[in-house]
Amino acid sequence: MRAMVLNRLGGPLELVELADPSPGAGEVRLKVLACGVCRTDLHILDGELPAPKLPLTPGHEIVGEVEALGPGVTRLQLGQKVGVGWLGRACHRCPYCLSGRENLCDRPLFTGYTRDGGYAERVVVDADYAYPLATGLGGDAAMAPLLCAGLIGWRSLVIAGPGQALGLYGFGAAGHIVLQAALWQGRRVHAFTRPGDVASQQFALSLGAAWAGGSDQPPPEPLDAAIIYAPVGELVPRALEAVKKGGRVVCAGIHMSDIPSFPYRILWEERQLVSVANLTRQDALEFLAVAPLAGVRTNVTTYPLEHANQALADLRAGRLQGAAVLVP
């Protein structure tokens, strides 16, 4: 099989030929139909996340078809279409798993980080973390961003609380999905982009945002909650200043630049600053059921597998509206 492999941090991915992997107990092998390109992949390549598996095949927004079953697998069938996200396995024994918080597992495996992912023609995954994909979610490439941008976006939206005025800082793959889910819930969404990024602002407005502007601008109304998807620490005090008394700011990325110091007065009055870590299987089940009801549609730019480096470069440079997806 062909795969795009990272051999050294900071280096480009290399197209290589590998033997087809064999599934072990509790695992399945998937024929990869599409794999989304996520900003977390950039954090891994740049060495901003510690101790990745090397060599590594990245990619954790996988849409695939089950083509081989490992011993003991009964919940999936050959030929079934499934999705795979960031959390690749949890231990089910640590205090976090036993209390229903497998996203905080002490001994997890992460797809495309500590185990090989979907920048390949085939991948082996844990059957318990492969989610059946129903009709109504779009084509293979359109579904891929739902498996991380969508799942983490949904978890961050739930954690943000039920407030009506919502701010989204960073309007990429997650932002454009969450905006649609939030509108379905009846919220007013304000989209914050890079200053001067008129194209992204127009994109947000076309999806139904009540307002769109640069992250250096104040929103037209005080926010009940704000979610930060951009990995930019200086957005934290700006978002705190934008939310009402008792409002909540959710940091949804796995990596963020340092947060600058800020005066206590913008946190006072019971404002809250929280983070989102990973996701659970329950998040996946909930969101994959909600997405077709909410009419969520992803905006994707597709690339052949061998052009993964170009897709990553376009993501880094902010040249995308929505998400990039590799199609083997």
Instruction: Give this prediction's pTM.
Output: 0.94
User: Amino acid identity of 227?
Assistant: I
Report the distance separating Cα 265 and Cα 233, nearest Å: 18
Domain boundaries, the chain: 2-148+278-327, 150-275
Amino acid 138: pLDDT: 86
- Divide the 328 residues of the chain into consecutive groups of 10 and give the mean pLDDT of each group: 97 96 98 97 96 97 98 96 97 97 98 98 98 89 97 97 97 96 98 96 97 97 98 97 98 96 97 96 96 96 98 95 96
In DSSP terms, 251 is beta-bridged to 228, 275
State whether residue 65 is helix, strand or coil: strand
Amino acid 134: pLDDT: 84
First to last CA, the chain: 10
Report the distance separating Cα 197 and Cα 32, nearest Å: 34
Residues 2-148+278-327, CATH architecture: Alpha-Beta Complex (3.90)
Amino acid 169: pLDDT: 98
Burial of 150 per CB tally in 10 Å (0-12, 13-18, 19+): buried
Beta carbons of 192 and 204 less than 8 angstroms apart: no
Amino acid 135: pLDDT: 79
Summarize pLDDT for 253-286 with one digit per residue, the tens. Answer: 999 999 999 999 999 999 999 999 999 999 999 9
Amino acid 16: pLDDT: 98
The DSSP output letter for 313 is H
Class of domain 150-275: alpha beta
The DSSP output letter for 242 is H
